[in-house]
Structure 1
Amino acid sequence: MTFPAAGPAAGSRAPDFETRNQYGEPVRLSDYAGRRDVVLVFYPYAFSQVCTSELAALRDRPDLLAAAEFLAVSCDPMFTLRAYSDAQQLPFGLLTDFWPHGAIATSYGVFDAERGCALRGTFVIDRTGLVRWSVVNQIPEARSLDDYAAALAKLRPELG
């Protein structure tokens, strides 16, 4: 079952953040403004079954990866994300929301404080920094990559 995200609604400004990717490099959402559409993919846990199958499916869709900057965000520590990225050969940024724990997920309304992890939320953010589409799935339910493709096609009809 999917439902709208509790965080920023379509048409509102995406909350900016700065964190580190799996290589320890700083990543700031606002750095993509004017350059690239971004898809934020929040996921609960590195190395878990559903998360791994989702991110591997995304890895295997070069058409989607070419259409936008995909940034996968979890509350796992940076070193865990590096091991996960290497093990799964993930060609996109894995961003740590470890400390302050869940701050990015909280700003997007997808932090589960009881479990201490992000919900399975997705946000398509255009080049102007506005949220254009979002969805949240239940933690055990994988998202549809075709939904990402449809949302991105609405931003850039030439991609559809």
Structure 2
Amino acid sequence: MGLAVGSTMPDFRLRDQNGNWFDSKDHIGQRPIVLFFYPKDFTPGCTAEVCSFRDHFEDFTDAGAMVVGISSDSQRSHRYFARRHRLPFVLLSDPKKLVRRKFKVSNRFMSLLPGRETFVIDKTGCVVLSFEALQASGHVKHALKIIKKIQENESLSPEV
């Protein structure tokens, strides 16, 4: 299991599918982040997972959240994958698995497959959900439930 709920999101900097830098520090304080680690572009389970995030993308953005996918695939692979499946969110390339290690996402199935784990990070950079499952299903449902709770709490909090 990855980073525990209550942990602070580690700082990281990776390139996205278009070659742009994504620095985690630039997003703290802006909005909640749904960060999901998946094993590999173009595999059946991973395609189902990212397409599920795509299909619910508007639900996440309407609730004020940013969606980001990470795997060890190359920027080029991510670019083709994002185009092929019309993905509206950022895919980050972590070829050396440095960010995967920072988030403590371990391998599964006799250590042969990279882990599949979804994190929800609130605006302050605190991990409020860590959901791990080998199957692709369930990640979107759990993340969206937490994002909606965050949105409800923000709308209930008094303005400063």
TM over 0.5: yes
Equivalent position of 1:131 in the other structure: 127
Higher deviation after alignment, 30-39 or 88-97: 30-39
Equivalent position of 1:76 in the other structure: 73
Instruction: State the Cα distance separating 1:78 from its structure 2 match.
Output: 0.7
SS of residue in 2 equivalent to 1:134:
strand
Q: Where does structure 1 lack aligned partners over 5 or more consecutive residues?
A: 1-5
Identity of aligned residues (%): 32
Change (3 A) 1:83 1:141: closer
Change (3 A) 1:75 1:111: farther
Q: Which has more strand, going by share of residues? A: 1
Equivalent position of 1:150 in the other structure: 145
Q: How does 1:10-159 map to 2 (within 5 A)?
A: 10-61=5-56, 62-67=58-63, 68-98=65-95, 101-112=96-107, 114-115=111-112, 118-138=114-134, 140-157=135-152
Using the alignment, how far apart are the partners of 2:115 and 2:144 within structure 1? 21
Using the alignment, how far apart are the partners of 2:18 and 2:27 within structure 1? 18
Listed one character per residue, the Cα deviations across residues 44-92 of structure 1 (whole Å, up to 9, x for unaligned) are 0000001111111211111123331100000001110001001111000
TM-score, normalised by the number of residues in structure 1:
0.86
SS of residue in 2 equivalent to 1:118:
coil
Equivalent position of 1:3 in the other structure: none
Contact 1:43–1:120, Cα closer than 8 Å, also in 2:
yes
CA RMSD after TM alignment: 1.9
Contact 1:153–1:159, Cα closer than 8 Å, also in 2:
no
Q: Which runs of 4+ in 1 moved over 4 A?
A: none
Instruction: State the Cα distance separating 1:141 from its structure 2 match.
Output: 4.2
Q: Which has the larger radius of gyration?
A: 2
Contact 1:41–1:73, Cα closer than 8 Å, also in 2:
yes
